Amino acid sequence: MVNTYEVESSEQEMIRKSVRSLCERFPEDYWRELDERDAYPTAFVQALTEEGWLSVLIPEEYGGAGLGMKEAGIILEEINRSGGNSGACHAQMYTMGAVLRHGNEEQKQRFLPKIASGELRLQAFGITEPTAGSDTTSIETFAEKKGDKYVVNGQKIWTSRAEHSDLMLLLARTTPRDQVKKKTDGLSLFLLDMKDQADRIDIRPIDAMINHATTEVFFDNAEIPVENLIGEEGKGFRYVLSGMNAERILIASESVGDGLYFVDRSVQYANERVVFNRQIGQNQGVQFPISKAYMDIQAAKLMRDNAAEMFDAGINCGAEANMAKYLASEATWRAANAAMDTYGGYGFAKEYNIERKFREARLFIVAPISNNLVVSFVGQHVLGLPRSY
Interface with ligand FAD (CB under 6 A): 125-128, 133-134, 158-160, 208, 212, 214, 363, 366-370, 372-373, 376, 389
Q: How far is 96 from 119, CA to CA, in rounded Å? A: 14
Smaller CB separation from ligand FAD, 208 or 319: 208
Beta strands 167-173 and 124-126: pairing type?
Answer: parallel
- Tell the smallest beta-carbon distance from residue 171 to ligand FAD (Å): 8
SS3 of residue 281 by DSSP: helix
**Which DSSP string corresponds to 243-262?**
HHHHHHHHHHHHHHHHHHHH
Classify burial at 362, counting beta carbons within 10 Å of its beta carbon; exposed 0-12, middle 13-18, buried 19 or more.
middle
Q: Answer whether 371's CB lies under 8 Å from 333's CB.
A: no
Smaller CB separation from ligand FAD, 27 or 130: 130
- Tell the smallest beta-carbon distance from residue 254 to ligand FAD (Å): 13
- Tell the smallest beta-carbon distance from residue 19 to ligand FAD (Å): 23
- Tell the smallest beta-carbon distance from residue 43 to ligand FAD (Å): 22
**Which DSSP string corresponds to 335-368?**
HHHHHHHHHGGGGGSGGGSHHHHHHHHHHHHHSS
Smaller CB separation from ligand FAD, 155 or 160: 160
Type of residue numbered 318 = G
CA distances from 13 to 230, 251, 340 (A): 36, 20, 31
Smaller CB separation from ligand FAD, 84 or 126: 126
Type of residue numbered 229 = L
Smaller CB separation from ligand FAD, 346 or 377: 377
Smaller CB separation from ligand FAD, 153 or 380: 380
Q: How far is 190 from 289, CA to CA, in rounded Å? A: 46
- Tell the smallest beta-carbon distance from residue 358 to ligand FAD (Å): 15
Whole-number CA gyration radius for the chain:
21
Q: How far is 184 from 136, CA to CA, in rounded Å? A: 9
Q: Rounded to 5, what percent of the chain is helix, strand, coil?
A: 55, 15, 30
Q: How far is 375 from 139, CA to CA, in rounded Å? A: 23
- Tell the smallest beta-carbon distance from residue 45 to ligand FAD (Å): 15
Type of residue numbered 199 = D
Q: How far is 213 from 123, CA to CA, in rounded Å? A: 11
Which helix (H) or strand (E) segment holds residue 76: the answer is helix 69-81
- Tell the smallest beta-carbon distance from residue 263 to ligand FAD (Å): 24
Smaller CB separation from ligand FAD, 66 or 379: 379
- Tell the smallest beta-carbon distance from residue 319 to ligand FAD (Å): 18
- Tell the smallest beta-carbon distance from residue 104 to ligand FAD (Å): 24
Smaller CB separation from ligand FAD, 319 or 367: 367
Give the residue at shortest CB distance from ligand FAD: 133
Residues paired with residue 189 on neighbouring β-strands, in sequence order: 171, 230
Smaller CB separation from ligand FAD, 306 or 380: 380
